[in-house]
Amino acid sequence: MTIQGKNGIDVILAESLKELSESRPIDKITIKEITDKAGVIRPTFYNHFQDKYELLEWIVREELVNPALPLIDNGLVKEGLTFIFTAMEKEKTFYTRAAKIEGQNSFAEMIFICAKEMILSHMNVDEVQAKGKYDWVTPDLIAEYYAKSMCVVVMRWVESGMKVPANEFVDVFMSLAKEPLFGLF
């Protein structure tokens, strides 16, 4: 998928999808409904996005990930995660519906890809490789491992209706990420 920058039409299409998702599952929403609600013609949509799943990925990146990156880049990981989960909490209906999308274009897969990219971009690759006892334990494998575990926790939170407040969720999320597995035994 090609991820675009932010522009007016992208934002209008995103808002249209979010509004429509308040009353219907995202996988049942058509491009025509999105464009009608946005007040644009269908070719305009296809000039910006390949399909509604690419639009959903754009929303995840532009509204959750990209605004949190400056915080994370500056070592404020907890604050970056708090931003992400608070933003999701504010649009609970949309993200709860997004979480129900399964298969190739699933929300879980989008979260996994974003988390893996974030981990890889912040990982000290030289240190990981220097400590590595086995060649097959690559930075990519480590990033996938942590991204999958993060994805499981995030999806469980969303699927349970985000009943735990974002701040409390981030505290637990951070402690799970820091605590070695064998320390829990």
Position 61 scores a pLDDT of 96
pLDDT in tens, 94-152: 999 999 999 888 999 999 999 999 999 988 877 777 677 788 888 899 899 999 999 99
Query: Is the model's pTM score more than 0.95?
Result: no
Residue 40, pLDDT above cutoff 90: yes
SS3 sequence, the chain? CCCCCCCHHHHHHHHHHHHHHCCCCHHHCCHHHHHHHHCCCHHHHHHHCCCHHHHHHHHHHHHHHHHHHHHHHCCCHHHHHHHHHHHHHHCHHHHHHHCCCCCCCCHHHHHHHHHHHHHHHHCCHHHHHHHCCCCCCCHHHHHHHHHHHHHHHHHHHHHCCCCCCHHHHHHHHHHHHHCCHHHHC
Q: What is the pLDDT of residue 183?
A: 66
Domains and CATH numbers, the chain: 8-179 (1.10.357.10)
Give the pLDDT of residue 104: 86
**Per-residue model confidence as pLDDT tens digits over 5-32:** 558 999 999 999 999 999 999 999 999 9
Average the pLDDT over 36-63 and give the result: 96
